[in-house]
């Protein structure tokens, strides 16, 4: 390829991006202009992809972790032949376009993960590399490496500043995830100005200490050096970060190298000056030279050939290893084993019962043999969260086939890694910690919901019922704060059987994340048929109902006792278990009316947490509107009013 064509191909990316930002009068031109050569090198010399089939299972993955530079990614997708038109580029950041301000998974063909909140893409890539490594160790045979992707990313100063990146990078180095190849846009500029204001650590030394291979590029426009170092990274068993010294807003004579290039349009005068500076025509805007487009569009034929070759190899794999091949195909297609739900456990009626965290652990181990794609672990709390899959080794650098993950005390990275695993495919991942520490994962849970990732988050120790650890570990506002996240299903099961059914919902739910909120303390196993999938259901009617008592989780046992007491006094009471608001709201009007008839206005909700939100269903709430205390759980519940006597008195006062 001629140097002239290569230069113009790179400048095409720069100015498609800058033109898109200028037309929208909004956006970030600096990153695309500074990293165009980096993106060019990855996409034209290394990335295995098929623009006509963005979901081809054998592809490499590319993540633009600095999602504010989204016009770079959209420009790449257009010129290489994805279903992203020139009009789509011209509608950047506009209502109804498929080119939003930050890349969104499921909106734009070819976007692998949602990025924008910095550090998330970096950590998602770690999850992708984990999923790929696990599948490779499980299915690849000598000479038949069907699963062999690399995970490429462009990461930024802002990404590296975020704490989630430190957590994820530490884990990736420990696990020796050699499938990761990240190019670092080392431009020394952030929104406030020079990174010297707040970011002066030795980044290279930092990543070496994590166990990464660190490579250096003095000039981020030097395609040949970057190409050589990417090749070197591919052959190293460690994750690699290639530090590329770049200039933000490269080519813009008055703004390059300054924070003014970061987050606002260049303006017509500066944009035209940049085009003059790099020998680019001022008009028309969104100009793509014919030979440049022809060069980039070779990706279509090349992608078709790559996929055909992979499918040919896969067919050969199927012939030689039919059982493995069939299983891999099922998992890559996202299909569940036939009748898998028959392995869900059922638990006998038991007044003492068990903690729902214990029931969850028993459920995991009951279904794990039938669902080999179920993998996951805990943020250093596996014995407390009950997440271990018996009989499987830990996922470590010498045992990638392991299904048990030790995420370490890295809740934020754990959430992002689980998201990356879930979107990669072929696995059903879960991550666990205490409910109060869901706050450390807020951004990752929100992104999972926004992006429809089918991640599963297990949060145990779900109330003041955890007892003596006290208010630092006792969740109060967490359930409410999770319930208000759109497209997140929160399930707080009341007993062991509801817990098993909650797992069924989580496994089968493929269009968004699910939270399981589980108890530390024992709860009785009820004599009822759980209907968790409906969100709320009638546990028992004591006579003709005049009062409805409703609760989630451990408080369902309390309202059952209270209902019996009220019934003994001649009151008609309905007991409703309410494991999931979101699932209940998905039911039709007739079902919701059958559970909560409008003509029964005396309604009391009971939940050991903040009561906000229950007013949509109940006339009154027994809740906790303050922090907890350090004491045995039984004492705490008594002091905070979670007693039969208080529930009965409150119900009678309605």
Specify the 3-state DSSP secondary structure of 153. strand
Handedness of CA 256, 257, 260, 264 (dihedral sign): positive
> Quick count: other Cβ atoms within 10 Å of Cβ 349?
12
Give catalytic residues, as residue numbers.
Answer: 411
Residues 6+ away with beta carbon under 8 Å from 328:
135, 139, 146, 147, 426
* Torsion from C-alpha of 325, 331, 333, 334, nearest 10 degrees: 170
Residues 6+ away with beta carbon under 8 Å from 114:
67, 102, 103, 104, 105, 120, 447, 450, 451
> Kind of pairing, strands 456-460 and 428-434?
parallel
Tokens of 47: 């990335």
Rounded-to-integer distance, Cα 551 and Cα 532, Å: 13
Residues 6+ away with beta carbon under 8 Å from 401:
134, 137, 138, 393, 395
Taking phi over 0 as left and psi of -120 to 50 as alpha, with beta for the rest, 27 belongs to left
The position carrying tokens 């006579």 is 543
Contact assessment for residue 139 and residue 426, using Cβ atoms and an 8 Å cutoff: no
Contact assessment for residue 372 and residue 346, using Cβ atoms and an 8 Å cutoff: no
Rounded-to-integer distance, Cα 346 and Cα 528, Å: 11
> Quick count: other Cβ atoms within 10 Å of Cβ 239?
26
């Amino acid at each position: 390829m001629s140097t002239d064509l290569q230069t113009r191909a790179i400048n095409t990316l720069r100015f498609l991006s800058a033109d898109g930002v200028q037309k929208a009068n909004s956006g970030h031109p600096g990153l695309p202009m500074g990293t165009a050569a980096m993106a060019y090198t990855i996409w034209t010399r290394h990335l295995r992809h098929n623009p006509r089939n963005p979901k081809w299972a054998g592809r490499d993955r590319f993540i633009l972790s600095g999602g504010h530079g989204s016009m770079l990614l959209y420009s790449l997708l257009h010129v290489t032949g994805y279903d992203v038109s020139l009009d789509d580029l011209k509608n950047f950041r506009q209502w109804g376009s498929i080119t939003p301000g930050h890349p969104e998974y499921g909106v734009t063909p070819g976007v692998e993960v949602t990025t924008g909140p910095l550090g998330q893409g970096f950590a998602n890539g770690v999850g992708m590399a984990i999923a790929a490594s696990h599948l490779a160790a499980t299915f690849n045979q000598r000479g038949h490496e069907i699963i062999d992707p690399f995970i490429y990313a462009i990461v930024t100063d802002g990404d590296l500043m975020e704490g989630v990146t430190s957590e994820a990078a530490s884990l990736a180095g420990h696990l020796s995830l050699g499938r990761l190849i990240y190019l670092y846009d080392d431009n020394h500029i952030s929104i406030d100005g020079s990174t010297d204001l707040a970011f002066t650590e030795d980044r290279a030394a930092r990543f070496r200490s994590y166990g990464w291979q660190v490579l250096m590029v003095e000039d981020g426009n030097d395609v040949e050096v970057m190409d050589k170092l990417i090749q070197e990274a591919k052959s190293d068993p460690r994750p690699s970060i290639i530090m590329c010294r770049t200039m933000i807003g490269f080519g813009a004579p008055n703004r390059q190298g300054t924070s003014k290039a970061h987050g606002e349009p260049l303006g017509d005068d500066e944009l035209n000056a940049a085009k003059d500076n790099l020998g680019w025509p001022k008009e028309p805007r969104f100009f793509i030279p014919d030979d440049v487009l022809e060069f980039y569009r070779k990706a279509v034929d090349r992608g078709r050939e790559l996929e055909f070759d992979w499918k040919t190899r896969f067919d050969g794999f199927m012939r030689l290893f039919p059982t493995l091949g069939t299983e891999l195909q099922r998992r890559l297609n996202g299909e569940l084993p036939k009748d898998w739900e028959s392995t869900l456990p059922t638990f006998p009626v038991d007044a003492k019962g068990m903690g729902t965290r214990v029931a969850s652990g028993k459920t995991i181990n009951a279904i794990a043999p039938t669902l080999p794609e179920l993998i996951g672990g805990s943020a250093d709390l596996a014995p407390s969260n009950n997440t271990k899959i018996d009989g499987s080794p830990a996922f470590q650098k010498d045992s990638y086939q392991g299904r048990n993950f030790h995420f370490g005390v890295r809740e934020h990275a754990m959430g992002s890694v689980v998201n990356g695993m879930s979107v990669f495919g072929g696995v059903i991942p879960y991550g666990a910690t205490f409910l109060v520490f869901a706050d450390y994962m807020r951004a990752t849970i929100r992104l999972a919901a926004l992006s429809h990732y089918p991640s599963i988050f297990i949060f145990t120790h779900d109330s003041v019922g955890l007892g003596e650890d006290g208010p630092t570990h006792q969740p109060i506002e967490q359930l409410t704060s999770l319930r208000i996240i759109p497209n997140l299903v929160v399930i707080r099961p009341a007993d062991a059987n509801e817990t098993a059914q909650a797992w069924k919902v989580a496994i089968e739910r493929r269009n968004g994340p699910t939270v399981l909120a589980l108890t530390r303390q024992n709860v009785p196993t009820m004599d009822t048929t759980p209907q968790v999938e409906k969100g709320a259901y009638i546990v028992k009617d004591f006579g003709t109902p005049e009062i409805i008592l409703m609760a989630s989780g451990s408080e369902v046992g309390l309202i059952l006792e209270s209902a019996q007491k009220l019934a003994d006094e001649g009151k008609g009471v309905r007991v409703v278990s309410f494991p999931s608001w979101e699932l209940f709201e998905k039911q039709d009007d007739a079902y919701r009316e059958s559970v909560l008839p409008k003509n029964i206005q005396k309604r009391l909700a009971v939940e050991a947490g903040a009561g906000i939100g229950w007013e949509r269903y109940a006339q009154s709430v027994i809740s906790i509107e303050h922090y907890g205390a350090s004491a045995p759980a039984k004492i705490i519940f008594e002091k905070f009013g979670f007693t039969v006597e208080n529930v009965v008195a409150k119900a009678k006062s309605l």
